[in-house]
């Protein structure tokens, strides 16, 4: 830590919470970290690696955001808690980076309202590789009209939501690339979640498969098949650190912007522009 940015991290004792604390401790632009948790006693403290500057109970988040002059809240928790945390951030005028997945319709409405009040950046996957995978999938689907598409994701046995947020994002990308402009509301191709019994493939349906096993960090595979050939595009996350690093880069990029929705692609594009300039 050594920069000016003050970040708050919710769900600080969770799998991603711990990764975010470690990544924040190593991030050049982060100066101070406030952790919020239902269980503050489980958050690293003292000389432990990643120990934040302050820890509060999640119920006290709103007052703590104000007291610690937080610039950006980073939330990777569960939808039912996340909507409360994001509401507290919006009430305090604090920007938010959201990695939590699996919101229901009411949760999505809360996110819409938060995004109208403060700078808001949400991504179902903060890895750079998935950003590239999404571009590759859109291109492949557009180049191979009529090919069958199946999406398979594999995650650790502690994951709650299925299919993963990333798989849902990629399904929307496929609909967009096919020109059917779909989303989970059902406007795009039919999404068939697993198959059992007499269930032959029909039309342009997309098969969706969610596997849960062991400690797999996160894998996404898109299979396109037709015309006597098969194309497979696969991303495998090697650690949760990549998501944490991406989310903190997004927090640095988001701080100080106008209220509204932003996309992780904008962070990646800005980074690519900086790299281009550096190499000239």
Where in the sequence numbering do the catalytic residues fall? 155, 159
> Is residue 101 marked as binding?
yes
154 binds ligand NDP per the rule CB under 6 A? no
Residue identified by tokens 């006597």 is 228
- Return the range that interacts with ligand NDP (CB under 6 A); candidates 64-72, 88-96, 99-107, 141-149: 99-107
Interface stretch with ligand LZUJQKHR, choices 111-119, 163-171, 255-263, 264-272 (CB under 6 A): 163-171
Does position 52 interact with ligand NDP (CB under 6 A)? The reply is: no
Report the nearest approach of ligand LZUJQKHR to the CB of residue 172 (Å): 13
Number of Cβ within a 10 Å radius of residue 179: 11
Which residue in 6, 37, 82, 124 binds ligand LZUJQKHR (CB under 6 A)?
Answer: 124
Q: Mention every residue, 6+ apart, whose C-beta is less than 8 A from residue 197.
A: none
What angle is formed at CA 148 by the lines to CA 143 and CA 150, rounded to 5 degrees? 110
- Residue 156 annotated as binding site: yes
Give the nearer residue to ligand LZUJQKHR in terms of CB position, either 31 or 169.
Answer: 169
In this structure, the chain runs to a length of 280
Q: What is the DSSP letter of 59?
A: G
Contact 195, 205 (CB under 8 A): no
Starting at the edge strand found earlier in the chain, the sheet holding 206-212 runs: 191-193, 206-212, 148-155, 219-226, 229-236
Q: Which of 5, 6, 7, 11 binds ligand NDP (CB under 6 A)?
A: 11
Question: Residue 182 touches which of ligand NDP, ligand LZUJQKHR, none (CB < 5 to 8 A by kind)?
Answer: none
How far separated are the first and last CA of the chain, in Å rounded?
Answer: 29
The one segment of 30-38, 65-73, 159-167, 190-198 that binds ligand LZUJQKHR by CB under 6 A: 159-167
Q: How far apart are CA 77 and CA 251, in angstroms?
A: 16
Binding-site member from 6, 77, 152, 164 for ligand LZUJQKHR (CB under 6 A): 164
DSSP 192: E
State the SS3 of 64-116: HHHHCCCCEEEECCCHHHHHHHHHHHHHCCCEEEECCCCCCHHHHHHHHHHHC
46 is in an annotated binding site: no
List interacting residues with ligand NDP (CB under 6 A): 11-17, 37-39, 58, 76-78, 80-81, 99-102, 123-126, 161, 165, 243
Could you list the residues known to form a binding site for NAD(+), using ranges: 11-16, 99-101, 123-126
List interacting residues with ligand LZUJQKHR (CB under 6 A): 101, 124-125, 155, 159, 164-166, 218
């Amino acid at each position: 830590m050594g920069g000016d940015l003050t970040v708050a991290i919710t769900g600080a004792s969770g799998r991603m919470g711990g990764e975010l604390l470690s990544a924040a401790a190593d991030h050049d632009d982060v100066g101070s970290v406030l952790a919020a948790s239902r269980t503050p006693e489980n958050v690293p403290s003292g000389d432990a690696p990643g120990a934040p500057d302050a820890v509060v109970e999640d119920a006290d988040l709103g007052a703590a955001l104000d007291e610690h002059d937080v610039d950006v809240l980073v939330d990777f928790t569960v939808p039912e808690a996340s909507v409360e945390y994001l509401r507290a951030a919006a009430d305090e005028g604090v920007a938010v980076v959201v990695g939590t997945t699996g919101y229901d319709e009411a949760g999505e409405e809360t996110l819409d309202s938060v995004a109208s009040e403060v700078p808001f950046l949400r991504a179902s996957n903060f890895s750079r590789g998935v950003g590239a995978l999404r571009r590759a999938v859109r291109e492949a689907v557009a180049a191979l009209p009529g090919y069958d598409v199946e999406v398979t994701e594999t995650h650790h046995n502690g994951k709650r939501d299925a299919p993963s947020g990333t798989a849902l994002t990629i399904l929307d990308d496929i609909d967009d690339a096919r020109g059917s402009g779909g989303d989970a509301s059902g406007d795009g191709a039919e999404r068939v979640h697993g198959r059992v019994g007499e269930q032959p493939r029909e039309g342009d349906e997309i098969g969706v498969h969610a596997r849960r096993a062991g400690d797999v960090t996160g894998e996404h595979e898109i299979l396109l098949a037709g015309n006597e050939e098969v194309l497979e595009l696969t991303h495998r996350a090697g650690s949760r650190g990549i998501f944490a690093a991406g989310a903190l880069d997004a927090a640095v990029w988001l701080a100080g912007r106008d209220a509204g929705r932003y996309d992780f692609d904008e962070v990646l594009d800005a980074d690519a522009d900086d790299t281009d300039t550096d190499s000239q």
